[in-house]
Amino acid sequence: MHWLGVLATAVGAAALVLGAAALRSGWTLPWTRGKVLRPQLYGLGGVLFGVACLGQGLFSLGVLPAVSRDVRFYAVFALLLCGLLLIGVSQMPRTARRRG
């Protein structure tokens, strides 16, 4: 099952690089440019998603020291959830604020 750890590490590294590019310069992939309205939120979500996948892959390969399964599960789940929520919010249109 080493291939699963390698796959998670590769996906995490790619998401981390794309998230950093969106954070730094506002660049997103061509097929997401029409949907992403806030590239900085999109980038932050990509970075969180990438860190979660990269950590899970490195734990799976035994590169990082082993921690309990519960800690690993909740940490990766929280990072993935926050990353996906930020990616979703980055695609929502801003609402007009009411004054008065």
Q: What are phi and psi of 38, to 5 degrees?
A: -130, 90
Name the stretches of the chain with pLDDT < 50: none
- Amino acid found at 49: F
Encode pLDDT of 47-62 as tens digits.
Answer: 999 999 999 998 888 8
Return the closest-CA partner of residue 83 out of 16, 26, 27, 13: 16
pLDDT in the model for residue 16:
95
Q: State residue 100's pLDDT score.
A: 59
Write the CA distances from 98 to 69, 89, 91, 92, 94, integer angstroms.
Answer: 47, 20, 21, 18, 12
User: What is each CA distance from 53 to 16, 48, 90, 97, in whole angstroms?
Assistant: 9, 9, 20, 37
0.75 exceeded by pTM? yes
Residue 86's identity, in one-letter code, is L
